[in-house]
Amino acid sequence: MKISSLQQARYAYAPKLPGMLRNGIADICVKEGAETKSVADQDKIQALFPNTYGKKEITFQKGQNTSTAKKQVVGVILSGGQAPGGHNVICGLYDALKATDKENVLYGFKGGPSGLLEDDFVVFDDAFINAYRNTGGFDIIGSGRTKLETQEQFAIVQDVCKKHGITALVIIGGDDSNTNAAVLAEYFAAQGAGIQVIGCPKTIDGDLKNEDIECSFGFDTATKTYSEIIGNIERDSKSAKKYWHFVKVMGRSASHVALECALQTQPNVCLISEEVAEKKMSLAQITDYIADSVANRAAQGMNYGVALIPEGVVEFVPEFSVLIHEINELLAGSKADEFNQLPSWNDKYAFIKNGLTPASFDVFAILPQAIQQQLFLERDPHGNVQVSLIESEKLFSAMVKENLVARKKAGTYKGKFSPLHHFLGYEGRCAFPSNFDSDYCYSLGYNAFMLIQYGYTGYLSKISNLSNPAEQWVAGGMPITKMMNMERRHGSDKPVIKKALVELDGAPFKYFEARRDTWAVETCYVYPGAIQYYGPAEVCDTTTVTLALEQGK
């Protein structure tokens, strides 16, 4: 296999660890904090997790190691969508295991949780690990979205672990994956199985965070990758001076990615889903907001611009959410077959008009036909509209175009509007991790072994103080149940990790809010360029603007 020069060089990069972990674990001790409570629904969460609820937060510090020395056999899986740095979590875990005792063993289960269920694994050695250091992707063992949530599955996992002598599992994943980790840890504790479970916080969406978990890994690299492309698009827009670029970025439930990319590149428009929901903005109001920027710039002779659209924004528009709900009800059960058998779009349109309330049909009717049809594409496994398939960037550009036609007829707009469309998603998930993500992920993996060595279970590996140099980072652990609440899922209440949405009173949004009116009219573009791996620390090792603002930098 041919290896690029950058990949060869990245193999040799030595990730930076928190100062306290740099000399191994021989002189590391535990400092316990206060007992924890779940973020909401404390009584219900405690009842569901009687063996793992209320545990104390912990930090590691210099001192006499009081852990019990023993051979450790650990299993690890990658779960859910890819995020840059996943390989380094495994590398850090492996290095910590081997630095403690060369006889320690690390099993990598292939294809995510299904690898545990099917007993499909690889035993890591130095040569295997060295081929993946500081590289992007999850291809070291693959990932998957199988959920571990039934008693039968838990029993199988327990049997597989017992078969190989595994006494700890590390689950690298997002909110759903770490919810599964908490449930699995509770099962093992109730069974007295002697198997620990440790999670690592992963998601490029940035919504697995709180005051303890300062950011999920992969967010830094993904947003820098997207911002490079957005900056290039801005430069092209400013050069050609004739296109409005509508750029959709990943983020189904939260707009952290869109906000961070806006802070890095300063586009003319950036929608924030949480603000749309808070202000109960209609499609027409959002369209007016974007069209105002187009018209105001055109009045200055600038018939170009850039607008960022979060992937899931339409779900936050109240009238659109009602429409989606009614469509789901309209096509429930056998009605979906009846609809699909209609011979033409006109027939289907009449079926839709007859089945929706007048208010929802009014919303449906103003949508471009292509978007109308996207609402009736392949359903998800629960029979619901797959909102991620809706090309919201094309929806808003089409509605803006109609809005501008009306303004032109009224004599309030004389510009030209030529939209182009982009969706930035998969481009950021497997990029070479930035120095920050390389360091952060390696530290998360190394720290996960510290939690295992000290006997903790149901904990997330936690590295904090992240806006400072790695030497000042603080390692520790947080009970997963602290992040949990009850949510309605598929007709029943279930414990899940609460997603962290953009805080409209938080420093990152306030910084953006104070400047966006200027960006909307003037050309204030910033061109971040490609991720830099070598050079001054202020160029190569800085983290996101979001994290810096959150920590007052």
Identity of residue 90:
I
In the numeric block, which tokens belong to residue 351?
A: 């079926």
Cα torsion through 525, 529, 534, 540, rounded to 10 = 40
CB 79 within 8 A of CB 145: yes
In the sheet that 459-464 helps form, which strands lie side by side, from edge to edge? 28-35, 56-62, 474-479, 459-464, 196-201, 168-173, 73-78, 105-109, 121-123
Angle at 552 between CA 551 and CA 553, to 5 degrees: 100
Strand 474-479 versus strand 459-464 pairing type: antiparallel
CA distance 222 to 205: 9
CA distance 523 to 509: 20
CB 473 within 8 A of CB 441: no
Question: Active-site residue 205, yes or no?
Answer: yes
In the sheet that 244-249 helps form, which strands lie side by side, from edge to edge? 269-270, 305-310, 244-249, 419-424
Identity of residue 1:
M
Buried b (16+ CB within 10 A) or exposed e, 478-502: bbbbbbbbbeeeeeeeebbbbbbbb
Q: Say which residue the tokens 């609440």 belong to.
A: 485
Element (H, E) at 449: helix 435-453
158 contact partners, CB below 8 Å, separation of at least 6 = 187, 188, 191, 193, 195
CB 197 within 8 A of CB 188: yes
For residue 338, count other CB atoms closer than 10 A to its CB. Answer: 11
* Phi, psi dihedrals of residue 370, rounded to the nearest 5°: -60, -40
Q: Say which residue the tokens 């309209």 belong to.
A: 330
For residue 381, count other CB atoms closer than 10 A to its CB. Answer: 6
DSSP 296-335: HHHTTT---EEEEEETTGGGGSHHHHHHHHHHHHHTSTTH
Length of the chain: 553
Q: Is 169 left (phi over 0), alpha (psi -120 to 50) or beta?
A: beta
Extended beta strands in 24-78, E state: 28-35, 56-62, 73-78
Give the side-chain half-sphere CA count within 13 A for 88. 32
Catalytic position from the list 95, 175, 176, 205: 205
Q: Which positions are catalytic?
A: 205
